Amino acid sequence: MKRHGKKLAAAALGVLCLILLSGCHGSKEQAAFTVPEESDTSRQYELTFWAKNDTNINQTEIYKQAIADFQELYPNITVNLRLYTNYGDIYNDVITNISTGTTPNVCITYPDHIATYMTGDNVVVPLDELFTDEKYGLAGSEVLFDSPSQNEIVPEFLEECYMAGHYYAVPYMRSTEACYINKDYVEALGYTIPDILTWEFIWEVSEAAAEKNADGTFKLNGGEVLLPFIYKSTDNMMIQMLQQLGAGYSTEKGDIQIFNDTTEEILYTVAAHTKSGAFSTFSISGYPANFLNAGQCVFAIDSTAGATWMGSDAPLVDIAEVSLADFETEVRPVPQFDPEHPQMISQGPSVCVFNKEDPQEVLASWLFTQYLLTNEVQIAYAQTEGYVPVTLKAQNSEEYQDYLSREGEDDNTYYDVKIKASKLLLDHMDDTFTTPVFNGSVSLRNAAGQLIEEVTKSTRRKETVDDAYMGNLYAEIQALYHLNEFGGPSEGKVDLGPLPGTAKILLAALTFAWVCILLYLAVSVQKSKKKEKRNI
Amino acid sequence: MKKCLCAALVLSMTLALAGCAGGQADTTTEAETTEESAAVETEETAAEETAEEAAPAEVMTHEEYMAAEIDSQVTVESYVQATQSWWEDEGQGKITVYAQSEDGAYFFYELACTEEDAAKLVPGTKIRVTGYKAEWSGEVEVMDGTFEFVEDGEEFIAEPVDVTEMLGTDELINHQNEFVSFTGMTVEPAQEGSDAAFLYSYDGSGTDGDDLYFNASYNGQTYTFTIESYLCDNTTDVYSAVKELQVGDVIDMQGYLYWYEGVNPHITYVGPTA
């Protein structure tokens, strides 16, 4: 399988430059979109739809079926599908195509990415008016399918698509992260898995699992390989830990707050558990699912949208059958610092519509976008992984409820780990959060993960991780991701020390000058009043 | 009165300007002092760096490299055999290199590399790489590496080693990353119950331009082969050749013996068996 997640986003700065340069060099500025009064069905429209699948053939089939069904309803609209297997490639290609004016019509993307697309004028269509359009809006009178109303889109998910005062996308699917656990191993170590994991629990059990025999093999599995705790997306790891601890990450406006003391404490914790062999990451070692399924891992944290890869009976497996271990898989939310108030990230794809010269083409794009929110698409796609439909209409439907109730009936459609992962998010919708979206938030996210990756690698390489190391790391990451170019440098107010003496003299002199000016004005007014009295 | 006020204003402005000037003077002094101390540090650092440069890390043989611990720093010299496409991540150029010397092969994962240097990494080019030995899903590689060109006039292009008979044996891993060949293999269905000879992506979920996966058998055992699109994209002959394969074709192949949870050759040539 491709090493996804490694060859992802190109430089955000380069991206920004492309957009800005395209603006400078006479690219035709696009007019803002206005909703046509009528859809002109006498004309043919050819749309391009860039979609992402999780290297999952079922998802590809659902996209194709959705397009076929939509085209049957709207014979004058043709939708051409282009598939990607990671968001980074979509992001890069969209950026390149913004500068050449050849964006797709409809695109699966992340809100973070949309914030960068929006650096160009009228590139992404604000959807507010389309939502509420009586004829073609959500549940509009002229829409030829059973589309959800705006109220039927999960408000928290819809809110994630609201930026700069407008809705620039609709949610498509939602997921969070889950901790997939080898229950047998945890129990063999003498522990019981709590309903809500704590970081303390995870580290303690992982340390116990890292113990070795005299011959260098691991006590727990008797093998030479065991990564007790492996994390797929270290950016999420850092973001969630900071959120749970109430520490800074960024402000809504994009001021960077991540380089703070709490981050440093987290990094020291990561270093300590890396040193003992209790922790590793996807980038360093490989896919968490592969280690979990081979009996070489106790806790594997990955997206709920990766649930079909997790466990002895997983329908999707990347390791040889002979390497599969037989164990019971438990699914839990990501570990917490305060289990009474769990907090976990909300993630998953959204859909945006790109502006075109022809408003009718944009309207056609919107209709297709809306079609992706129908129960047919939502329920089918949600079943391919541990996703959750983004509409209450789909979530509450009999069909979806029936699906959830059949957990474990087979190891495919009703694979228990997958359905448990979906239920995890459904049960914790109020405990999810997202990070602020701004131009540069993609870089900040990458930086968050890179901090953990660097500390983990350095520890494994027996480098000294101390205050000096942290200082250098912060400076390097800040420079690498151009974080000073997007927002403020650090958390809270920066103490710049006492004012220099010369500055104090300058300020005093200026104050004195202003006092003199005011005195002069006051005296002048008095004199003129006296003159007026004399004149009377 | 006006004269007095004017005088006061002039005085305050003079003081203010003096303040500014003084500030500048002080700042300059401070800056100079800082520069001086920085210069000392820089000189010291430069001296240290020169000392380091004077004693470059010892170049390992392939045997020493293989014996080195995972996560240890390694320096090796080898010859470029092929590269994956150059790309840029947060302004940092990167390139993945398949390299081989007479004593063994290497996989240099995402070497730091400018676009200009990437163009010079043609097959046969000798490079010295310093990085960290790593193992990712079974693939032993050098990650976080930097490189320099070794201009000693030597070139090396590896001849493929036929490993067909080693398929399914423990011996195969000894040739990890080498340029190898497979001969007389029979194309099998890409999926059970399918007539298709290849898939876009491992399960058919991809489209043209994605990695191609296909199966071929030898002595009754079936193995999976990959056209890694970053190595051979959809404009290459091998990509087209695989798209033309039919189940039952008997073929020869060449490629690099990459590893992903087991052998996962990155194929660069496919043709009818000789």
**DSSP string covering A320-383:** -GGG-----EEEEEPPBSSTTS--EE-B--EEEEB--S-HHHHHHHHHHHHHTTSHHHHHHHHT
**What backbone phi and psi angles, to 5 degrees, belong to A532?**
-60, -45
pLDDT tens series, chain A, 536 aa: 566 444 433 333 344 444 444 433 334 467 889 999 999 999 999 999 999 888 888 999 999 999 999 999 999 999 999 998 888 889 989 998 998 889 999 999 988 899 889 877 889 999 999 999 999 999 999 999 999 999 999 999 999 999 989 999 999 999 999 999 999 999 999 999 999 999 999 999 999 999 999 999 999 999 999 999 999 999 999 999 999 999 999 998 899 999 999 999 999 999 999 999 999 999 999 999 999 999 999 999 999 999 999 999 999 999 999 999 999 999 999 999 999 999 999 999 999 999 999 999 999 999 999 999 999 999 999 999 999 999 999 999 999 999 999 999 999 999 999 999 999 999 999 999 999 988 889 899 999 999 999 999 999 999 999 999 999 999 999 999 999 765 433 333 333 445 555 556 667 777 777 777 777 777 777 776 665 555 54
Q: Does A55 touch chain B (CB under 8 A)?
A: yes
Is residue A115 assigned to a domain?
yes
Cα angle A440-A164-A371, degrees, rounded to a multiple of 5: 100
For B68-93, letters b (16+ CB in 10 Å) and e give beebebbbbbbbbbbbbebbbbbeeb
The one-letter code for the residue type at A99 is S
Nearest CA to A332 out of A207, A395, A423, A415 is that of A423
A57 and A87 inside one domain: yes
The one-letter code for the residue type at A408 is G
Both tokens of residue A39?
């859809």
Return the pLDDT at A22: 41
Across the interface, of A55, A284, A286, the residue whose CB is closest to B201 is A55
A108 and A128 inside one domain: yes
- Sign, CA dihedral A11-A15-A17-A18, equals positive
Environment class of residue A402 by beta-carbon count within 10 Å: exposed (0-12), middle (13-18) or buried (19+)?
exposed
Say how far apart CA B176 and CA A345 lie, in whole Å. 40
Residue B2 has pLDDT above 80, yes or no: no
List the single residue in A with minimal CA-CA distance to B143. Answer: A284
A148 and A214 inside one domain: no
Residue A452: Cβ within 10 Å count: 25
DSSP A253: T
Contacts of B47 (CB under 8 A, 6+ apart): none
DSSP H/E element including B116: helix B115-120
Q: What residue has token string 């889950």?
A: A178
Give how far Cα A106 sits from Cα of A134, A317, A425, Å.
Answer: 22, 32, 27
Return the pLDDT at A291: 98
Tell me what percent of chain A is helix, strand and coil, each rounded to the nearest 5: 45, 15, 40
DSSP A215: T
Both tokens of residue A205?
């059990």
A185 and A47 inside one domain: no
Nearest CA to A69 out of A372, A291, A282 is that of A372
Return the pLDDT at A514: 79
Across the interface, of A2, A57, A500, the residue whose CB is closest to B23 is A500
Give how far Cα B227 sits from Cα of A376, B96, B240, B264, Å.
Answer: 35, 15, 10, 10
- Boundary-marking domain end, from A364, A387, A405: A405
> Which range marks the domain in which residue A258 is found?
177-345+434-485
Q: Report whether B80 contacts B97 (CB < 8 A).
A: yes
Q: Does A525 touch chain B (CB under 8 A)?
A: no
Q: Report whether B214 contacts B225 (CB < 8 A).
A: yes
Query: Cβ separation of B136 and A13 shorter than 8 Å?
Result: no
Is residue A227 assigned to a domain?
yes
Return the pLDDT at A115: 87
Is residue A417 assigned to a domain?
no
Per residue in A433-478, pLDDT (tens digit) is 999 988 889 899 999 999 999 999 999 999 999 999 999 999 999 9
Return the pLDDT at A523: 75
Contacts of A332 (CB under 8 A, 6+ apart): A178, A179, A181, A193, A195, A196, A197, A424
Per residue in B55-98, pLDDT (tens digit) is 667 999 999 999 999 999 999 999 999 999 999 888 899 999 99
Q: What residue has token string 């990070």?
A: A435
Give how far Cα B88 sits from Cα of A13, A15, A153, B150, Å.
Answer: 11, 11, 38, 24
Tell me what percent of chain B is helix, strand and coil, each rounded to the nearest 5: 30, 40, 35
Whether the pTM exceeds 0.90: the reply is no
Is residue A66 assigned to a domain?
yes
A354 and A442 inside one domain: no
Is residue A165 assigned to a domain?
yes
User: What residues are paired with B104 via a beta bridge?
Assistant: B101
Provide the shortest C-alpha distance from residue A214 to chain B (in Å): 19
Return the pLDDT at A534: 52
Return the pLDDT at A24: 36
Query: Cβ separation of B12 and A12 shorter than 8 Å?
Result: no
First-residue to last-residue Cα distance in chain B: 110
Give how far Cα B267 sits from Cα of A61, A393, A535, B31, B238, Å.
Answer: 28, 48, 105, 59, 8
A72 and A157 inside one domain: yes
Q: For residue B150, how far is the Cα from the chain centroid?
A: 17
A326 and A363 inside one domain: no
Q: Report whether A18 contacts A98 (CB < 8 A).
A: yes
Is residue A233 assigned to a domain?
yes
A473 and A449 inside one domain: yes
List the single residue in B with minimal CA-CA distance to A504. Answer: B19
Environment class of residue A252 by beta-carbon count within 10 Å: exposed (0-12), middle (13-18) or buried (19+)?
exposed
Per residue in A220-279, pLDDT (tens digit) is 999 999 999 999 999 999 999 999 999 999 998 899 999 999 999 999 999 999 999 999
A55 and A111 inside one domain: yes
Which residues 248-307 in chain A show a CB within 8 A of chain B? 284-287, 290
Contacts of B229 (CB under 8 A, 6+ apart): B209, B210, B211, B212, B239
Q: Does A456 touch chain B (CB under 8 A)?
A: no
| Percent of chain B's residues with pLDDT above 70 | 80
Provide the shortest C-alpha distance from residue B274 to chain A (in Å): 30
Is residue A418 assigned to a domain?
no
How many domains does chain A fold into?
A: 2
3-class SS of residue A384: coil
Say how far apart CA B259 and CA A70 lie, in whole Å. 42
3-class SS of residue A428: coil
DSSP B240: H
> Torsion angle of alpha carbons B239, B241, B246, B247, nearest 10°?
-60
Say how far apart CA A413 and CA A419 lie, in whole Å. 9
Q: Does A486 touch chain B (CB under 8 A)?
A: no
Say how far apart CA B237 and CA B257 lie, in whole Å. 19
Per residue in B202-250, pLDDT (tens digit) is 889 888 999 999 999 999 999 999 999 999 999 999 999 999 999 999 9
Across the interface, of B9, B201, B228, the residue whose CB is closest to A516 is B9
Say how far apart CA A363 and CA A231 lie, in whole Å. 42
A326 and A352 inside one domain: no
Return the pLDDT at A2: 60
What is the maximal distance between C-alpha atoms in chain A?
112
Residue B32 has pLDDT above 90, yes or no: no
The one-letter code for the residue type at A150 is Q
A36 and A157 inside one domain: yes
Return the pLDDT at B229: 96
Give how far Cα A228 sits from Cα of A197, A279, A311, B140, Å.
Answer: 15, 6, 15, 21
Is residue A472 assigned to a domain?
yes
**What backbone phi and psi angles, to 5 degrees, belong to A237?**
-60, -50
Q: Does A520 touch chain B (CB under 8 A)?
A: yes
A75 and A195 inside one domain: no
Strands B104-112 and B92-101: antiparallel
Chain A residues within an 8 Å CB radius of B136: 3, 284-286
For A209-246, letters b (16+ CB in 10 Å) and e give bbeeeeeeebebbeeeebbbbbbbbbbbbbbbbbbbbe
Across the interface, of A287, A457, A500, the residue whose CB is closest to B26 is A500
Q: Report whether B76 contacts B128 (CB < 8 A).
A: yes
Q: What is the CATH number of the domain that holds A152?
A: 3.40.190.10
Q: Does A519 touch chain B (CB under 8 A)?
A: yes
Q: Does A11 touch chain B (CB under 8 A)?
A: yes
Contacts of B46 (CB under 8 A, 6+ apart): none
Residue B122 has pLDDT above 70, yes or no: yes
Q: For residue A13, how far is the Cα from the chain centroid?
A: 19
Provide the shortest C-alpha distance from residue A36 to chain B (in Å): 35
